[in-house]
A and B are shown apart, each in its own frame.
Chain A
Amino acid sequence: MQLPFGYYPVGNSLYPLALDLFMPTVFFFFFGAAYRTARYFAFYNKPFVPYTSSLRGISTREKIKDLVNTFANSSKLGIKRKPVTTAAGLLMHISLIVIIFLLAQHMVFWAYYIPPYKVLFPLAIPESSVDGELAFTRASLPLTPTPYPFVHDIWGPLTVILNGQYITYLLMILLGIYLGHKFHILGERLALRAGDWWFFVLLYIDIILGFLATSHIPNNVVDYDNLLGAHILVAEILIATLPFTRGFHMFEFYLGKMREWYFTVYRRGEK
């Protein structure tokens, strides 16, 4: 089947299309990020600082301690007062980071576009827990063009937990909890935004697509190519729209917390 996409010879699969759209995705992302950042500059007013306290000053050491606390406070308090959603949220973030940046297949993808990424190869997480070997390189010599000895990982028995399949199951459950949370919000008639659905639903679909592709469900090459292509395409939609969605919090989180610390600790200069 020839997909109708202008003059583009996509053949029978979404896969090459997805790969070729990666660079435009990155371009869109940077364009959006620049737009978002430029707005901050456009609205920037230099704050007027009347004075910082001279009465009871705060040492540099305490300032740094406070910086750590600033970042940790929301998790600390959340675990105490809202343990289930906080724990689910934290675990989901960790799992997502691990799977996006350390899953062996993803690492090969990143290293293709950003070659220095390969220094992280020793940390690669295998797809399955079978025996600590990377499943997709197991049966034969590397199938990817990478010349690196990419077979035994350093995780040893930890691979029982740290493997693509397990983390994906976990992610599907955790994101399911969050989606349930969204329905609860809807039921309570509390504020819910279109952007919430956009990000969550796309992420969920993307994880399922990735899971189906790597697990070869259904087990034939055409479907594999299409599923993998769709997985990458959905990820590309997520990346391209990041600057316009809540997904951008992965960058702004640092900005917000640094700002809080700067205003409440550094600028007041008191304890």
Chain B
Amino acid sequence: MTQAIAEKVNMDALKRAIDEVFYSQIDSTTLYYFQSCVNCKACEVACPFTPTSLHYSPVNKAEISRQLYRYRFSIWGKTIGKVIGGSKKYLTLNEAETMVDYVWHCTNCGACMFVCPMAIDSGALIDLLRQVAFKAGMVPKIYRDIADLEISGKYWDVDFFKNAWNSLISKIKDAIGKEVPLDKKKSEILFYASLYEAMVYPDVLVKVAKILDMLNKDWTFMSKPLGIRPPIGLVIGDKEGAIKVMQRVYSYFTDISPKYVMMTAGGFEYPSLRYTMHETFKVKPTYEVVHVTELLAKWYENNEFEIEPLDEIITWHDPCQLGRRGGVFEAPRVLMKALSKKFKELPSHGVNSFCCSRGGGGCGVPTMVENMAKTLGIAISEDDKKFLDSTIEPLIKAGKIKVNEINKVKAKEVMTGCPVCIESIGFSIDYYHANSQVKHIIDVLADRMKVNKK
């Protein structure tokens, strides 16, 4: 795939992209990430892609951005560095190819930062390269097409999407036995979901609505989704596109003005809509963006409901973006412990949770991406097909580690809070024939909640 992309590379565009990205994004944090790495390679152990090749270790991938940085921002880089090879003004075609390969072997999961003795977020440096690749037109077409659809807002013209969303609303209506509150301003809770979720786990969304109704909450749902999985642009390196989508999301949130925007997905949407969006616009929102487990844990601790426990070993997979990037570790555990006395932690959990290798930058299980493209009428080119196939190996390698951990704690059910984690761990469990199931926590919890009458 990379070869095919490289043949179409506009070298001038690549040079411009390198200049723009590197000159515009330096701040004291990136400066620290650039210059303070001691090349100890401790980060290797955390990355879901190193089982595929040591070339995909965080420090090795980030080195390309360090070389570009050195040329622009360090005296050594401009002088001796040029001679001894530690700095580069631009990239050759081959190097650009390698860069593209590397950026699609990073999910921006953040695991490397926590294990790095210097706390360097290599994912952030690889993200800069992803932005370069995007600006230079080196993003796999299939991702760009899906992102473009989201940015333009034209996803709503796609019958398949419209039907999926409308059918979700009627399922919710059937489940709660009354009209679904839609776009209701000043509700306490805005139940936020994306089109992607409506397609991959509509039942989970229906159950969330049922819980809100059961608990008699003042809530509202969205008559139309705000994107396919907003802001997809952030994942493919399209910052400007992401800003457009975030503007749409922010203005809807502000218009509804709830107390909480509650999300079911704990993937990249969570930190993006909770932190990045407001940091980018420099606004202090009047609402708080939370994951469904955060609200439920609070209500559970307030005795609003009880949980009928299961009698089996269950475990929790911390989604990278909800946990490491989002800071939510405790709330799901409050619920998990109530769900079973036999709750066990995976050997890698919390800040060291091992990434399923699919999230931001892994962009889902390839078969699912292909299916989505097909339903959208996006042609899958030979290059795209090759690219998607190349993403299978890391999924299988990282999946092995995940499945071994699940087997080690003998968990019957793995619960989590992110659609992509469910998909990819599900894939690995099937692939390795593990005796376990993976579900969204709501899937199990909703059926075991008993509301306490006040």
Instruction: Give A contacts to B, CB under 8 Å.
Output: 36, 39-41, 43-45, 47-51, 53-56, 69-70, 73-75, 77-78, 81-82, 85-86, 89, 181, 185, 188, 190-196, 244, 246, 248-249, 252-253, 255-257, 259-260, 264-265, 268, 270-271
Contacts and interface: CB of A to CB of B under 8 A. Distances in A.
A146 B419 CA distance: 70
Contacts of B26: 43
A45 B28 CA distance: 7
Contacts, number: 142
Nearest to B325: A264
A249 B288 contact: no
A111 B352 CA distance: 43
B32 A252 contact: yes
Contact of A190 (B54, B115, B326, B351): B54
Given A51-B288, A81-B45, A268-B327, A194 B27 contact: no
B305 interface: no
A55 B39 contact: no
B86 A256 contact: no
Most buried by A among B38, B324, B331: B38
Contact of A45 (B27, B37, B40, B116): B27
B39 A40 contact: no
B200 interface: no
B85 to A, nearest CB: 8
A244 B76 contact: yes
B115 A74 contact: yes
B355 to A, nearest CB: 14
Nearest to B29: A259
B42 A190 contact: no
Contacts of A49: 279
A50 B55 contact: no
Given A43-B31, A73-B351, A256-B32, A192 B120 contact: no
Interface in B65-116: 76, 80-81, 84-86, 113-116
B438 interface: no
Contacts of A43: 26-28, 31
Interface residues on B, range: 35 or more
A74 B275 contact: no
Contacts of A253: 117-118
Nearest to B274: A50
Contacts of A190: 54-55, 57, 60
B119 A249 contact: no
Interface in B266-315: 275, 278-279, 282-285, 288, 290, 294-295, 297-298
B329 A249 contact: no
Across the A-B interface, give the 6 residue pairs with the lowest CB-CB distance, nearest first.
Answer: A50-B278, A191-B63, A256-B119, A260-B119, A81-B45, A271-B330
Contacts of B297: 56
B284 A51 contact: yes
A218 B215 CA distance: 85
B27 A53 contact: no
B197 interface: no
Contact of A77 (B45, B118, B279, B326): B45
A63 to B, nearest CB: 12
Given A74-B117, A77-B352, A249-B36, A53 B288 contact: yes
B395 interface: no
A255 B55 CA distance: 28
A253 B27 CA distance: 18
A201 to B, nearest CB: 14
A70 B118 CA distance: 11
A52 to B, nearest CB: 10
B332 to A, nearest CB: 11
Contact of B119 (A36, A196, A257, A270): A257
A194 B86 contact: yes
Contact of B36 (A48, A89, A256, A260): A256
B44 interface: yes
Contacts of A193: 39, 86
Contact of A255 (B32, B45, B115, B279): B32
A53 B327 contact: yes
A252 B118 contact: yes
Nearest to A89: B40
